[in-house]
Amino acid sequence: MLTIDDIREVPLFSTLAESELDHLAHTCADLHLCTGEFAVHEGGERALYAVLSGRMEVIKTFDGIERTLGWRLPGTIFGEVPLALSSPFPGAYRAAEPSRVMRVEAQQYYMLAAKSPDVALKMGALARERIGGLQGLSAEAPTPRVTMVGNRWDTSCTALRHFLSRNQISYDWMTPDAPELSSRWPQPCPSEAECPALRLVDGTVLNRPATRELAELLGLQTKPRRAEYDTLIIGGGPAGLAAAVYGASEGLSTIVVEREAPGGQAGTSSRIENYLGFPNGVSGDELASRALQQARRLGAEILVTRQVSQIDVEHRTVHLDGDDAIRARTIILATGVAWRRLAIDGFDRFIGKGIYYGASRSEASATHGLDVYLIGGGNSAGQAALYFANHARMVTLVLRGDSLEKSMSRYLVEQLHGKTNVAVRLRSEVVGAQGDAHLAAIDIRDALADEVHTHDCAGLFVFIGADAETEWLPAAIARDDRGYVITGDDVVRAGRWSQDRDPYLLESSVPGVFACGDVRLSPVKRVASAVGEGSMAIAFAHKFLQQA
């Protein structure tokens, strides 16, 4: 418990009257931190902290790498910048040794400052000093973790750029004919045959690397740390990451297996406007990044570049590509869905060379000043169109329907109408693609006029819905005729349940195997519902483990 003598040792409070010190002693939190424990995380709510004993490390994550900015010793304070700017904490504060810290809530501090102007003056001076330090950090030129040389239309280069972008790894990309190549790449410059060539920040040079090799060199986890887990989650989209957060926070040993990068299909969304808690919207990769940090901080393991090849439901063993096998007491299927492909002659040879299924934010810069087309009239297409409109000369939505309002949320329709460089072609469809080494033009058929016209096209992005890809699942896990995993009462109605008890809401036909998010048979396909189901799956996994 705090005492007046404890608080008086802090210079900021040393001149306060006895009554004020007594009030602080009875109202402020007394934090006793073990080594490695956080007083506040980056992005935490504002408050004033004073170090009473021990030593606090000031850390901030830059491009996924943790950096120490300084230390706070007994008698010093932190939190002056968030209080001065009414903002979250720009960095985190972690105990470097057993420490004791006093926390003054924001409202308490403001009341104290009103009564004791001297405290407010000292805090203001310290805040200005610390803000100056933050300005110095912001002026430092960031060093990309990867420098890449590769042709824009090389599918290997495209795949590596997507991988780096989706995994929040900063990179600098140049084409082999870029004039700045000789000054930014040490001699000798890579040949066409060596591209894509990558140079890591430590000087390591890689020619046409596999994504798993690159992931390991960048410090991303690709192998499990243990042989058995309480719950294994297949898929790192919103549902899978939610399950990871809740599983780890509930004390379950938790691992996520993701074949590319956390975030899933939602992670490629340029803007999610209707997700609870983000009044100004949030990009898919930002939402995924926050969820990933949260899951890892709570102790979940996240494997990337790994794919599940087989599930042995009898022995509760999950086999990964590369011959790794993991035992899991419960399994959560959160594999989501894959973009539906267009069956048009000539399309396949342009995939990654001007034709893309879905769209990532990293593609936007390559469309600067050019004309691009998007196929589809759903929310994903609308969000992408708005984002590309900030870069492309003209963005055209092509859809077979007669109205956007029938398939797209009203707020997106209104925003699209407000963009002067966004056009909509109704009752139309793309019927052909032209080009040599890459896409150059597309053929669009107008259903009303029954005419086909050719249009120059620098990029075509396809959003025509998605399908569950669950052919690899064992036959014991029941699915409907479209591949979606059936759960709960649907399992009973299908005659696929053999236990004495009823299946849990998200439980599949195999006890202890659950499904959540888009891969589960359900009429609702939203990010919010996927997150909710991910957390619910952990609750049911808990019940199953308690009864096992």
Whole-number pLDDT of residue 377: 92
| Predicted pLDDT at 244 | 97
Distance, in Å, from the CA atom of 30 to the CA atom of 18, rounded to the nearest integer, reads 19
pLDDT of residue 480 exceeding 70: yes
Place of tokens 């009030």: 23
Any idea which residue has 């759960």 for tokens? 487
> What pLDDT is attached to residue 137?
52
Which CATH fold would you assign to the domain 348-464? FAD/NAD(P)-binding domain (3.50.50)
pLDDT above 90 (res 275): no
Phi/psi zone of residue 297: left (φ > 0), alpha (ψ -120 to 50 degrees), beta?
alpha
Q: CA angle 432-436-440, nearest 5°? A: 55
- Quick one: pLDDT at residue 181? 87
Over 80: is that where the pLDDT of 273 sits?
no
Q: Once rounded to an integer, what is the mean pLDDT over residues 199-221?
A: 93
Residues contacting 73, CB < 8 A, separation 6+: 51, 55, 56
The band of 134, judged by pLDDT with boundaries at 50, 70 and 90, is low
pLDDT attached to residue 462? 93
Q: Do residues 264 and 336 touch, judged by C-beta distance below 8 A?
A: yes
Is a pLDDT exceeding 80 seen at residue 323?
yes
Q: What is the pLDDT of residue 142?
A: 65
Q: Give the fold, CATH level 3, of 4-139.
A: Jelly Rolls (2.60.120)
Q: What percent of the chain stands above pLDDT 70?
A: 97
CATH architecture of 146-217: 3-Layer(aba) Sandwich (3.40)
Domain range list for the chain:
4-139, 146-217, 228-337+468-547, 348-464
Element (H, E) at 544: helix 527-547
In Å, how far are 21, 58, 339, 525 from 238, measured between CA atoms? 47, 30, 16, 12
Question: How confident is the model over 266-294, as a mean pLDDT?
Answer: 78
pLDDT value, residue 64: 65
pTM above threshold 0.85: no
Greater confidence, 261 or 392? Answer: 392
Q: Mean pLDDT lowest for which of 36-45, 140-149, 225-234, 442-451?
A: 140-149
Higher pLDDT: 538 or 83? It is 538
Q: How far is CA 229 from CA 270, 317, 477, 545, in A?
A: 34, 10, 20, 12
Give 302's pLDDT tier (boundaries 50, 70, 90). very high
Q: Would you place residue 211 in the very low, low, confident or very high pLDDT band (cuts 50, 70, 90)?
A: very high
Query: Between 3.60.15.10, 3.90.1570.30, 3.40.630.40, 3.50.50.60, what CATH number should domain 228-337+468-547 receive?
Result: 3.50.50.60
Name the band, by pLDDT with cuts 50, 70 and 90, for residue 141.
low
Q: How confident is the model at residue 342 (pLDDT cuts 50, 70, 90)?
A: confident
Which pLDDT belongs to residue 126? 85
Dmax over CA atoms of the chain, in Å, equals: 87
Q: How many Å apart are CA 406 and CA 374, to the nearest integer?
A: 17
pLDDT for the residue 135: 57
- Between 51 and 118, where is the model more confident? 51
What angle, 0 to 180 degrees and rounded to 10, lies between the N-to-C axes of helices 238-249 and 527-547?
Answer: 40
Comparing 160-164, 286-290, 412-416, 511-515, the range with the smallest average pLDDT is 286-290
Q: Read off the tokens for 461.
A: 């992005």
Kindly tell me if the per-residue pLDDT of 524 is higher than 90. no
Check pLDDT > 60 for residue 330.
yes
pLDDT tens digits, 57-78: 999 877 667 788 889 999 999 9
